[in-house]
Amino acid sequence: MITETLSTRTLIDLNEPQQHAVALPVTQPPTHGLILAGAGSGKTRVLTTRIAWLLASGQASAHEILAVTFTNKAAREMIVRLTAQTTVHVRSLWIGTFHGLCNRLLRLHHREANLPQTFQILDMADQLAAIKRLMKSLNIDDEKYPPRELQYFINAHKEKGLRADSVEIWDNITRKKAEIYAEYEAQCQREGVADFAELLLRAYELLSRQEALRTHYQQRFRHILVDEFQDTNRLQYNWLKLLAGGGAAMFAVGDDDQSIYAFRGAEVGNMRDFEREFPGVRVIRLEQNYRSHGHILAAANALIQHNRERLGKELWTDAGEGEPIRVYEAAGDQDEAGFVADEARALMEEGVHQGQIAVLYRSNAQSRVLEHEFFARGVAYRVYGGLRFFERQEIKHALAYLRLIANPEDDTAFLRVVNFPARGIGARSLENLQASARQINASLYAAAASLSGKAAITVGGFVRLIEEMRAQIQALPLPEQIAQVIEHSGLAGHYQNEKEGQERLENLDELINAATVFAGDEEAGRAAESGGMLSAFLGYASLESGEHQAGEGEEAVQLMTVHAAKGLEFDVVFITGLEQGLFPHDNAASEARGLEEERRLMYVAITRARRRLYLSSAQTRMLHGQVRYAMPSQFFAELPPANLKLLSRAQRAPTDAAFWREGFASLRRKSPPAAQRSPADFAPELPGGLRLGMNVRHAKFGFGVITDAKGSGEEARVEVNFGSAGMKWLALAYAQLEPASP
């Protein structure tokens, strides 16, 4: 153990690997740290304690530390923990998300970044609206070039650090998309707005281009600490390398086994590149798990070992083995959902807290049948990750008014509220206004003065309203500014007359509360120095709109996708829909990298459970309006039998070992390609004792294999592959099929 000194009092409650990670020596050249922190191993604690140790030992000042994470919630948690651990003024530290820190950098250096001082941030919905508006102005067919597809194209290239003129052109479609990307960039520059992806790219370009600025920040930030390093994309990693180029010590905490965001651009390979590209990296593994019992961890370890491209670690706990993992094979998806709901209700009767029960699924579409069965049994549930506060209609309307007051060039905000509440401004008037704006190369707000006739009266009245509100609120504190805008814009009156407007009015009141809290924060004061309190609050609101927040109300069982469960933990977890093609998903499991990410996703799901874990599959599932016969997930074959308790359908109670030997064990013995086919032992039973995947014999066509089935009872039909005789659909009532040896 590390010898205790004054500077190591912060290490007392850590285990030995955690201590070694926290107390990595500060050397020159720097010692870099790659901390492989397994699920439930205390990674956030290690990261914050590292900062506290650097400060307490006098090896770094608050001015020299930059700490990056992925969510505002995680950043706030770090600040709270540091406040309790150190006497240093924590607010002086640069701690935040990639987007938040880049926003801060660009506000401070807006001129060098070629941005207006009051530039606004487009969230994903606003960005999509801006793209749609651009396409309409350019008369581009949105069926040939879907706006969401263009949004993904633009953001994906920005996250790779590529501007429109750097896009690799493959064909005419790519060329057209690149042209739209260029027009979109010009529109954003003209309106003085930046989307999320732009924040990081513009900040990276700023530091790349401005040598003096880059040198300043390289010399300032001597310690760069990164949380959830496995989730970084290529541009984020390059931005970190750029900042660390002056000799800063990098301290990266992550878990390659929990990298599940490739669809968002995350590059798990960044962890291997970091180890290779930063000389003197110390790799420390945090393998003691403080969350789950032994059976759960043994299953997680066995599963993830099937991934070849990993840095390697094995979780363990001193909390004991706990309960074996319960495995349930349902007849159908409704039976599976009923089983989950019944078990949840029984657990609640035993004293398990409702909020400590989570039901996980791979696809959002799976929630419908679960919701139905929970409702039918009177079990309160909540679909986690619903509409968030800053994404609610009334909040976005209020923020659009505020954005337009802060920046009249913001055309997206203008179009959102120019006729809300209704002012008699029709589509034709807006089309004429947009045409005038293009003709004089000005914003919609500025072009409003060029209109004539009725449009000049109605649109002009809206512009005068904005000018009046700007004058009214200029000298008011932030909360009063927002209250005035909600009242004088007509929003309050509109919702007072709406059938269900009370809830919306309460949300608008909460927006004022949020502004009150924000205005009292020291960080807000610093942000306001570079653009005013209102602009600072609008930037905060845009960044907050990306937060995942649990719904309010009564305690309830949590239903969510596995992706949404990342970072959460529960006493009891159900992982449902464990069938081939569903989990692992067909779209991802068709190639090796995709299958490895699906396995990491399963690893994340397993390690959400503290005390009890259920795994379930269904022999049939309703997909695309048809009953489909399913096969168990290949992940079952990768779990140790000793850690499982198999339940029967009849009694939902433990069965004998034959269930395992004749079922999952047969799947385990098969090679991966064969494992993706349905084993006969687990296929649903058809009339006459036949099963999907069974070898059969037909008097005319000879030997074959049942590959599909439809209908039931006398209308049951099967598809049989008879080899040279081809594929045949046969009615079971007349086919005279009989089982045959393979």
Task: Give the residue numbers marked as catalytic.
Answer: 43-44, 227-228, 258, 608
The C-alpha atoms of residue 320 and residue 318 are separated, in whole angstroms, by 6
Output phi, psi for 535, to 5 deg. Answer: -65, -40
- Specify whether the CB–CB gap between 370 and 576 falls below 8 A: yes
Short-list 613, 46, 483, CA closest to 287: 46
The C-alpha atoms of residue 384 and residue 285 are separated, in whole angstroms, by 32
The C-alpha atoms of residue 696 and residue 702 are separated, in whole angstroms, by 8
The residues, any chain, with a CB within 8 Å of residue 154's CB and separated by 6 or more, are 131, 181, 184, 197
Containing 179, the helix (H) or strand (E) segment is helix 172-191
Rounded to 10 deg, the angle between the 124-137 and 427-440 helix axes is 80
Tokens matching residue 205: 């370009």
Residues for the chain: how many in total? 742
- Specify whether the CB–CB gap between 182 and 165 falls below 8 A: yes
Burial 597-608 (b: 16+ CB within 10 A, else e): bbbbbbbbbbbb
Rounded to 10 deg, the angle between the 501-519 and 533-544 helix axes is 120
- Specify whether the CB–CB gap between 373 and 386 falls below 8 A: no
How many other β-carbons are positioned within 10 Å of the β-carbon of residue 386? 11
- Specify whether the CB–CB gap between 618 and 333 falls below 8 A: yes
What letter does residue 663 receive in the DSSP assignment?
I
Short-list 274, 246, 271, 241, CA closest to 258: 271
- Specify whether the CB–CB gap between 600 and 258 falls below 8 A: yes
CA dihedral 84, 86, 89, 94 (to 10 degrees): -90
Tokens matching residue 323: 């309960």
How many other β-carbons are positioned within 10 Å of the β-carbon of residue 294? 19
Alpha-carbon separation of residue 70 from 30, 180, 327 (angstroms): 25, 29, 34
CA angle 17, 18, 23 (to 5 degrees): 100
Cis amide bond preceding 408, omega within 30: no
- Specify whether the CB–CB gap between 147 and 132 falls below 8 A: yes
Q: Which residue has the tokens 């009564």?
A: 554
The C-alpha atoms of residue 270 and residue 235 are separated, in whole angstroms, by 11
Beta pairing class for 717-721 and 702-710: antiparallel
What 3-state class would DSSP assign to 501? helix
The C-alpha atoms of residue 168 and residue 171 are separated, in whole angstroms, by 9
Q: How far apart are the first and last CA of the chain?
A: 62
Q: Dmax of the chain from CA atoms?
A: 92
Short-list 202, 247, 200, CA closest to 221: 247
How many other β-carbons are positioned within 10 Å of the β-carbon of residue 689? 9
What letter does residue 556 receive in the DSSP assignment?
-
